[in-house]
Amino acid sequence: MNVVSTVDPRDGRRRATDLTETDESRLEAIAGQASRAARWLSGLGRLGRAEMLDAIAASLESRRVDLVAAAEAETGLSDARLDQELTRAAVQFRMFGDVLRDGGYIEAAIDHAADTPLGRGPDLRRMLVPLGSVAVFGASNFPFAFSVAGGDTASALAAGCPTVLKAHPSHPLTSHASAEAIGSAVRDMDGPDGVIAIVYGEQAGRSLVRHPTICAAALTGSVGAARAIQAAIDERADPIPFYAELSSVNPIVVLPGAAVDRGDQIAEGLFTSFTGSAGQLCTKPGLAFVPSDPGGEHLVDALRGRIASAGGAVLLNERIRDAYENQAAAFERAGARVSARSQVHPGAGFTVAPTLLEVGLPGLTAEIADECFGPLMVVVRYRDVAELDAVLATVPPSLTGSIHRGPGDDAGIVRGLVELLAARSGRIVFDGYPTGVRVSWAQHHGGLWPSTNAVHTSVGATSIRRFLRPLAWQDAPEWILPEELRDEYTAIPRRVDGRLESGVQ
């Protein structure tokens, strides 16, 4: 059996772990346990699963020091960032507890029997039920919040779906410790093995999504990883839904009025947004459109100053480091010039130099309007806001589009730009930055391909919808209905004979 190794990206040293890659017989056992755990999760009911999610949050927090230390050694991310990310993971589990207690997510609907233009209509009752076991591929860039203890897991478990994680190869020990934290909370509730499980190794990931008991898959990762997983899914006789959150350029438009009004502040904001977490965020702004006027020049100058004095940034692994260097070089070859680059003292780890590139219109080619994962941003200088209409249509669809407005900026122009950004983004940010994704009911973290597969979100309360399917009961006797569909049950929002009732709690 292949031993799983781990690398500290700060020095590049690889060491063996006690973990081994998951072979076919172990995968079979895990898939079987997951299937059997579905009944326990369902038996808990909504309120029982809410308690379970709260217990998981508490379990993660009780192991905070160890988890953060494990993640720091495997990712090179700062203690402060990881500490906050662990809080975020706990917040996500607790939010889904609230979602379950609210109960609106099951979309309960009752149509009583009635005469219709098509004759007598039967009594129909519909709600969403768990889809079944879910495969989740942990992200590279969030060892907690988009990984084993991440939002995909939280939303799948909330839905009632046993979850099998494919651990990211760059944080096996953090993944293992996270699964232990979740598993321990489940065991304390007398839950079975299989509610949460973890597999290691690329082959195990492929076998996982081909396994007949797996009913959906989710990934936060690259377009390449998504295509490989889709190819494995395509080998199945039965297609399954695959939710992928992938690549994003996240354009930011700074209008001339904003540059004049608060150029220094925006420079600071852009700098923090594109270099934070070493730029390894799917919401990192990759393109900033800044006017070619004195206000814009002042802003870019301030930005250059910040970058010049910044240190190096540690990327997660060799592959990401190499891709960063290659992508930066490709942008330069395509005509972007280095506007500022920080000083880096060469070391053994995966340290790179945060970089600001610059290009004038019409120099923004398709090569440059592409994601570069890591601390790089391209400033695109424009002379006239009217130029932006055509240019924004060439930027690939993104998770976000942002716009900074100032006192002098015309409302009609803002409206036009927002319409363009809305057509190609999942979230429009006003006078702010796309990083820092709020975990809440109204969040949407998705967008048109290649940012995600469009119709669902991977962050926020509604991400639970990915792991649910509708089920309808026709003329069912009351005693066999789930309690949420019985006439007298009014604790949750339901649509009864077409009218929404908000639920009495």
- Closest separation in Å from C-beta 93 to a second copy: 12
Share in percent of the chain as helix, strand, coil (round to 5) = 40, 20, 35
According to CB under 8 A, which one of 121, 335, 360, 363 is a site residue for a second copy? 121
Name the H helices within 76-219: 79-102, 151-159, 172-188, 202-210
Q: In terms of residues, how long is the chain?
A: 505
Q: In the window 463-492, what residues touch a second copy (CB under 8 A)?
A: 466, 468-477, 479-480
**Binding of a second copy by 430 (CB under 8 A):** yes
- Report whether 106 contacts 484 (CB < 8 A): yes
Location of structure tokens 């009632």? 160
Quick one: which H or E segment has residue 246? none
Cβ closer to a second copy: 48 or 121? 121
Of 66-74, 162-170, 204-212, 457-465, which part binds a second copy (CB under 8 A)? 457-465
DSSP secondary structure, 247-304, as one string: -----EEE-HHHHHHHHHHHHHHHHHHHHGGGG--TT---EEEEESSHHHHHHHHHHH
Count of residues of this chain found to bind a second copy when the rule CB under 8 A is applied: 84
**Binding of a second copy by 16 (CB under 8 A):** no
Question: Rounded to 5 degrees, what angle do the CA atoms 21, 453, 469 make?
Answer: 80
User: What DSSP character marks residue 311?
Assistant: -
Q: In the window 235-254, what residues touch a second copy (CB under 8 A)?
A: 238-241
Q: What are phi and psi of 164, to 5 degrees?
A: -110, 120
Catalytic one of 85, 161, 215, 282: 282
- Closest separation in Å from C-beta 289 to a second copy: 18
| CA distance linking residue 458 with residue 461, whole number of Å | 9
**Binding of a second copy by 308 (CB under 8 A):** no
The residues, ordered by sequence, that sit 6+ positions from 472 with a Cβ below 8 Å of its Cβ are 124, 125, 126
Of 99-107, 147-155, 271-279, 381-389, which part binds a second copy (CB under 8 A)? 99-107
**Binding of a second copy by 228 (CB under 8 A):** no
Cβ closer to a second copy: 14 or 438? 438
Q: In the window 385-424, what residues touch a second copy (CB under 8 A)?
A: 411, 414-415, 418, 422
Of 66-74, 167-175, 334-342, 425-433, which part binds a second copy (CB under 8 A)? 425-433
- Closest separation in Å from C-beta 229 to a second copy: 12
The residues, ordered by sequence, that sit 6+ positions from 218 with a Cβ below 8 Å of its Cβ are 134, 135, 136, 137, 152, 156, 242, 243, 244, 245, 458, 466
Q: In the window 47-86, what residues touch a second copy (CB under 8 A)?
A: 84
Cβ closer to a second copy: 6 or 247? 247
Catalytic one of 72, 74, 85, 245: 245
Cβ closer to a second copy: 204 or 244? 244
Would you call 478 a catalytic residue per the annotation?
no
Would you call 245 a catalytic residue per the annotation?
yes
Is residue 325 classed exposed, middle or buried when 0-12, 13-18 and 19+ CB atoms within 10 A define those classes?
middle
Q: In the window 143-162, what residues touch a second copy (CB under 8 A)?
A: none
- Report whether 155 contacts 130 (CB < 8 A): no
**Binding of a second copy by 171 (CB under 8 A):** no
For residue 181, give both structure tokens.
């934290």
Of 25-33, 193-201, 366-374, 456-464, which part binds a second copy (CB under 8 A)? 456-464
The number of angstroms, rounded, from the C-alpha of 78 to the middle of its chain's C-alpha atoms is: 20
- Report whether 472 contacts 125 (CB < 8 A): yes
- Closest separation in Å from C-beta 104 to a second copy: 5
**Binding of a second copy by 432 (CB under 8 A):** yes
**Binding of a second copy by 504 (CB under 8 A):** no
Positions marked catalytic: 245, 282
